[in-house]
Amino acid sequence: MINPLQKIITVSLSLFFFIACNNPVKNEIEIESLPKEIPFALVIHGGAGTIKKEYMTPEMETAYTNKLQEALDAGYQVLESGGTAILAVKKAINIMEDSPLFNAGKGAVFNSLGKQEMDASIMDGKTLNAGAVTGVSHIKNPINAAILVKDSTRHVMLSGFGAEEFAKQYDLKFEDESYFFTDKRYQQLLKAQGKEQALLEINTLNVELIDNHQYGTVGCVALDKDHNIAAGTSTGGMTNKKFGRIGDSPIIGAGTYANNLTCGVSCTGTGEYFMRTLAAHEVSNLIQYKNYDLKKALHQVIHIEIDSLGGDGGMISLDKNGNIAWNFNTSGMYRAYKKSTGENIVKLYEE
């Protein structure tokens, strides 16, 4: 026989389970209140050009793969710890600027006078604020100077002597010319000048034959946990360049662009064609005004707009939702990405 106290407990428990099972609104609210994963991601490139497996030794392939992964990890660690997209771009590019494998910083190519003239740019997709330097010869990490221009001046681009004088005020690391010298790049200069002289002698100068089609420009696009996008690019330009030539890398909208409404982009290749098409900004425009997705926008710019002018190169991009895409019309591009989902990809060749 059930006593009155047991009866009260039984009725109370039944009522509790009935209410719990028939209160979906309460259950939905509880589910929605659980913390959600905030996506973040990083994509980098180390240049596009004649990058074929048959031209690479196993040692060189390993060296490029490891350095790309090192740069990727450096930027990713910033994002994972809650750091900004700007800082992630800086850290990733610094790794590549400090490596002789790439045409940026220490591995910068030589101009026609046997000097290095380096360019870099950075853009914040949240504010559309940007900074760039061009024609600098002694700043160890040009991307750091570009960030200073963005943060500490009313300007977007500083050049040459003025850019270096500005950078000295902020104690950026400077190096003498011997630091930037690499025999590989010097041999590329001699080869380019030899071809140029031979072609001049027969009066059939052809720029395409002079260029060895190896572009080592470096770049990075990042999306942080606050949903902000940043993009940056750093380069030594073109081997044997003359007359203070400037390419697309320091030009906002041509070689670098970031906008939280759409995407971030970094480019590499024959800069003149990326400037003529405002390639990086064009990708953003196609997404914003024509509803293109990232892959379609990159294909349009690389394979239709730049191809039609005879240009070559590649682009990496990351949109506001963390989607990543890259495209190039050369035989390869050093590239890699890492997402908060755990996905980590490093590639060198056309696939």
Just list the catalytic residues: 217
Tokens of 177: 């010319």
Q: How far apart are CA 236 and CA 232, in angstroms?
A: 14
Q: Which among 271, 261, 248, 257 is positioned nearest to 316, based on CA atoms? A: 257
Name the 3-class secondary structure at 30. helix
Name the 3-class secondary structure at 108. coil
Query: Strands 118-124 and 313-319: what pairing?
Result: unpaired
For 259-300, give the DSSP string. Answer: -TTSEEEEEEE-HHHHHHTTHHHHHHHHHHHH---HHHHHHI
Sheet containing 313-319, strands listed edge to edge, beginning at the edge strand earlier in sequence: 256-258, 263-269, 313-319, 324-328
Q: Are 316 and 43 in contact (CB under 8 A)?
A: yes
Listed in sequence order, the residues at least 6 apart from 308 whose beta carbon sits closer than 8 Å to its beta carbon are none
Q: Are 52 and 331 in contact (CB under 8 A)?
A: yes
Query: Strands 229-235 and 118-124: what pairing?
Result: antiparallel
Q: How far apart are CA 118 and CA 145, in angstroms?
A: 11
Q: Are 220 and 42 in contact (CB under 8 A)?
A: yes
What's the one-letter identity of residue 31? I
Bridge partners, 318 (sequence order): 264, 324
Listed in sequence order, the residues at least 6 apart from 9 whose beta carbon sits closer than 8 Å to its beta carbon are none
For 132-148, give the DSSP string. Answer: EEEEESSBS-HHHHHHH
In the block, which residue shows the tokens 């026609």? 112
